[in-house]
Amino acid sequence: MDEVFSDLANIPSEPPEVRSTCPTCERPTSVCWCAALPKPRLCPQSRIILLQHPAEEKRCLRTAPMLHFGLSEGKCLVYKGKRFPGRYQDLEELLVGSNTILLYPSPTAVDLKSLLQNNTNTSFNLVIIDGTWPQAKAIYASNPILHKIKQVKLLTKGVSSYIIRTQPTDGCLSTLETATEALCLLEDDEGYRKLLAPLKTLCDFQLKNGAVSHQSKEFLIKNNKYPKLIGKRLNKVLNSVEVLRGE
């Protein structure tokens, strides 16, 4: 048993890779994608308004921060919740604005490209619901204020270039990819594709290292991958504890 305790004493409280966190993206610095952000931040005439389902914030692959930090201050506004405008005082004004459009693929939605061809306005507020497709549908259904906004859709291939390679999803574009496609059209500038670079960086991490987001200490111990810090004896003890707890 003494040996087990000496093993225990040698374990640092956290694995090295989670010790320092990037203040911007809030990810461990070893998997931070901030270096891939456009410099300087891009400043479109239009503005993106994300209505974010509360569960979206907890998902492994969150692309909203990449959009937020890739665009100038105030060009990507994020509102969290299920009811809108809810507690946000400035949001109602934005949602009812005459230059506000909602990206939502309803039967009445018009192709964004053709809307722009027949419009002299160059500055829009583009509302995007940030969440899975069922979450987006639920938010749309329960917020009548959204039904009054002019609805647009994107006619793209509709398959994510990145996510599909790492994890199967419902085949939708990520929020970042959706907003990027829209901005290329709104601003008539393919340069907005620079916004995708952090997502590419993140996917490269994932492809190299497996599910990066699961590299908690608990995960590494459970999968016997806590690197060189844990002895075989201690591992045995930990596993037997799990058996006792019925896990």
How many Cβ atoms from other residues are within 10 Å of residue 85's Cβ? 18
Nearer to Zn ion, 25 or 221 (CB): 25
Nearer to Zn ion, 32 or 230 (CB): 32
Nearer to Zn ion, 25 or 212 (CB): 25
Is residue 101 involved in binding Zn ion (CB under 5 A)?
A: no
> What distance in Å separates the CA atoms of residue 50 and residue 62, rounded to the nearest whole number?
13
Is residue 34 involved in binding Zn ion (CB under 5 A)?
A: yes
The piece of 33-41, 49-57, 183-191, 200-208 that touches Zn ion (CB under 5 A) is 33-41
The piece of 30-38, 88-96, 105-113, 148-156 that touches Zn ion (CB under 5 A) is 30-38
Binding mask 7-26 for Zn ion (x = CB under 5 A): ---------------x-xx-
The least CB distance from residue 31 to Zn ion, in Å, is 9
Nearer to Zn ion, 34 or 61 (CB): 34
Of 147, 104, 143, 144, the residue nearest 127 (C-alpha): 104
Quick check: 31 and 173 in contact, CB under 8 A?
A: no
Please give the torsion angle defined by the CA atoms of residues 2, 7, 9 and 13, in that order, rounded to the nearest 10 degrees.
-150
How many Cβ atoms from other residues are within 10 Å of residue 78's Cβ? 16
Nearer to Zn ion, 27 or 53 (CB): 27
The least CB distance from residue 34 to Zn ion, in Å, is 3
> What distance in Å separates the CA atoms of residue 171 and residue 161, rounded to the nearest whole number?
10
Nearer to Zn ion, 24 or 106 (CB): 24
The piece of 34-42, 130-138, 165-173, 206-214 that touches Zn ion (CB under 5 A) is 34-42
Backbone angles phi, psi at 77, to 5 degrees: -100, 135
Instruction: Kindly give the pairing relationship between strand 150-153 and strand 100-103.
Output: parallel
The least CB distance from residue 125 to Zn ion, in Å, is 27
Residue from the set 28, 31, 32, 221 that interacts with Zn ion by CB under 5 A:
32
Structure tokens at 118: 């027949």
Nearer to Zn ion, 28 or 131 (CB): 28
Of 165, 172, 168, 160, the residue nearest 203 (C-alpha): 165
DSSP-assigned states of every residue in 5-31:
HHHHHTS-SS-GGGTSB-TTT-SBGGG
The least CB distance from residue 101 to Zn ion, in Å, is 31
> Which residues of this protein are in contact with Zn ion, per CB under 5 A?
22, 24-25, 32, 34
